[in-house]
Structure 1
Amino acid sequence: MAAFTPIILVHLVTAVGALLFGALALASRKGSNAHRLFGRVWVVLMLTTALVSFGIRKFGGFSAIHILSVVSILAVTASLYAAAHGRIGAHRRGMRGAYVGLAIAGIFTLLPGRRLGDLLWNAVGLA
């Protein structure tokens, strides 16, 4: 199994942080100071996760999974723009969609054959 390089560790830590802070932002009262704080931290973590992913390449090139990083950057940016222009419905849909995309990507990283998945399945003795 390949090593967890520093860039992969940054990607992993920011993704897990984004899952946590995204959940807090979604659970908090919309428009509250807590929602804004959790949301801002989530945006930084999401954008960092997506940007850092471009440094993770198999065989030196980009893969189809990098499309998700581009989509995430666009979704978060468009959602911030929507909120700044009072289009709260668009903001809500975009942020929820980006969070769901993050969660789905997280689930796929736990599949056998992926670094984190192999670590998990070997640790529980199922691989």
Structure 2
Amino acid sequence: MTLSPILDAAPVIQAHVAAGLLAILLGPVALYMRPGTKTHKITGYVWVSAMAALALSSFAIHSFAVIGPFSPLHGLALVTLWSLWEGVRHARAGRIAVHRRIYMNLYWFGVIIAGMFNFLPGRAINRALLPDTPDTGFVLIALGVAIALLMVLRPTLRKLWRTSALHG
């Protein structure tokens, strides 16, 4: 492991990585702690700020350009910014279940699954964490996507299992 690909990167990439790490680490704290507490609210606001910084900084990164300077990841950044706004709006309106669902999906799909693609060979995270075996990134991507999908689908799978256990 070597941090030089990140430390030698442009400042916007360094800011993007820092915001991403903060979002990865704070997401579970905000999502899985008791809602409504002061700690939940503070952690949530910091997480929303990190996610906004993550999304906004992506517009200055063009290494994966497909259409002019933009890529599908920039579309994801727009969805992220909209989702952040919607999550706050629903929380303020007292629609906590919707607020929770928006942020749960944003964490698992917008942070974890999208973040896993930083393990593609050639990307700074891959070069930093897997300098000797960059193709291992494909295995990590598949594993990360599978875990994230299981976490998102877990409530549905649990209901299906209960239903089949009752009728089986």
Settle same-fold status: TM greater than 0.5: yes
1:126 aligns with 2:133: yes
Higher Cα radius of gyration: 2
Offset of residue 113 of structure 1:
2.5
Distance 2:84 2:103 in 1: 6
SS in 2 for 1:22: helix
Contact 2:31 2:100 in 1 (8 A): no
Question: When the two structures are aligned, how many residues end up with a matched partner?
Answer: 125
Q: In structure 2, what is the equivalent of residue 115 of structure 1?
A: 124
Q: In structure 1, what is the equivalent of residue 96 of structure 2?
A: 88
Q: In structure 1, what is the equivalent of residue 70 of structure 2?
A: 62
Contact 1:111 1:118 in 2 (8 A): no
Match of 1:104 among 79, 92, 113: 113
RMSD over equivalenced CA pairs, Å: 1.8
Distance 2:127 2:73 in 1: 18
Q: Give structure 1 regions of 4+ aligned residues with deviation exceeding 6 angstroms.
A: none
Q: In structure 2, what is the equivalent of residue 71 of structure 1?
A: 79
Q: In structure 2, what is the equivalent of residue 18 of structure 1?
A: 23
Distance 1:126 1:86 in 2: 48
> Mind listing any 5+ residue stretches in structure 1 that lack a counterpart?
none
Q: Aligned partner of 1:67: which letter?
A: G
Q: Aligned partner of 1:73: which letter?
A: L
Q: Report which stretch shifted further, 79-88 or 106-115.
A: 106-115
Q: In structure 1, what is the equivalent of residue 43 of structure 2?
A: 38
Offset of residue 96 of structure 1:
0.5
Q: Aligned partner of 2:127: which letter?
A: D
Give me the identity figure in percent.
36
Offset of residue 98 of structure 1:
0.9
